[in-house]
Structures are given as C-alpha cells and as structure tokens.
Structure 1
Amino acid sequence: MDAAEVTKLVEEALPGCEVQVQVDGTHYMVVVVGDVFEGLPTIKRQQMINKALFQHVMDGTIHALHPRAFTPAEWAERQG
C-alpha cells in the first residue's frame, strides 16, 4: 500500500483534513491536520486515524502505524 492510498483512506474518513504520509516498508507515519481535532485528547485523535486504516492494520498490509494529529493552530506552532 503506497502513501497515496493511505492518504485517500484518511481523507475519506476525515474530510477537510490535510494528510501527510511517509512510508518505510510496512511502517506508516501519518500526520493529519484539521479542525476536527479541536478540544480532543491525543488518544481520541489517534483513534480517529486508526479507525480509517483499521482493516489494513488487521490484515497485515500496515505493520506499524504511527498516527499524529494536530489542529491547524497546533501545526502552525510546530512549523515555527
């Protein structure tokens, strides 16, 4: 599964979010930025991303998933 496929799945599950995916074999780093995460704790944010990719984690296509979720303000702050 390539980065574009993962991006599409997450964008479909979380419309209006910006999605960035880095792939290293079966390890996926997924960064999602969107207003949908406003006021939510980290674990809830990660669960939302995990849900979009759950089937592919369960079937082994994605061996390791590292979800990161930010609001636009949090992302802007991280970018300096």
Structure 2
Amino acid sequence: MTPEQVHALIANGLPDAQVTVSGQEGHFEALVICKSFAGLSRLKREQKVNATVKEAITSGTLHALSIRPMTPEEWAQKHPDT
C-alpha cells in the first residue's frame, strides 16, 4: 500500500477533510484536518479515521496507521504561519 492509496481511502471516507499521509511498507502517519472533528474527543476522531481504512487493516494491507486528527481551528492555532 502506498501513501497515496491510504490518502484516497481517508479522503473518500471523510470528503471534507484535508489529508496528508507519509510512510511506507504498511506503516503510515496521517494528518487529518476536518471540520467534523469539532466537539469530538481524540478517540472519537481516531475512530472516524480508522473506519475509513478498516478493510485495509483487516486484510493486512495496512499494518499500522498513526493518526493526528485536528480541526481547522486547532491546526491554525498550532501553525499560525501556514
């Protein structure tokens, strides 16, 4: 599985999200910035992202995914220059 394939799975499942994926050989990190994360705990946010890649994890194609879920406001606070 490639970062682009992981990106596509997450983006298809969360169409309002900005997604950046890095990594290789089944181990990836995803930064997911999504308005629908507002008011959700980190666990609930991660569950929403995991749901988009569940089949790939179940099949063994995707071995590990580290998720950094944020709202656009949280991203702007942490990265005011971007």
> How does the TM-score come out when normalised to structure 2?
0.91
1:54 maps to what in 2?
54
For residues 36 and 13 of structure 2, what CA distance do their matches in structure 1 show? Answer: 11
User: Is contact 2:34–2:71 with CA below 8 Å preserved after alignment?
Assistant: yes
Superposed CA RMSD in Å reads: 1.0
Partner of 2:74: 74
Q: Counterparts in 2 of 1:18-33, with a 5 A limit?
A: 18-33=18-33
Q: Kindly state the Cα deviation for residue 16 of structure 1 after the two structures are TM-superposed.
A: 1.4
Correspondence 1:6-21 to 2 at 5 A = 6-21=6-21
The runs of at least 4 aligned residues of structure 1 exceeding 4 Å deviation read none
Q: What's the TM-score once normalised by structure 1's chain length?
A: 0.93
Q: Percent identity?
A: 34
Aligned residues: 80
Q: Secondary structure at the match of 2:16?
A: coil
The aligned counterpart of 1:64 is 64
Q: Secondary structure of the residue that 1:61 maps to in structure 2?
A: coil
Specify every segment of 5 or more residues in structure 2 that has no aligned partner in the other structure, as ranges.
none
C-alpha deviations, 1:3-62, integer Å up to 9, x for none?
111111111110111000011321110110011100000000000000000111111111
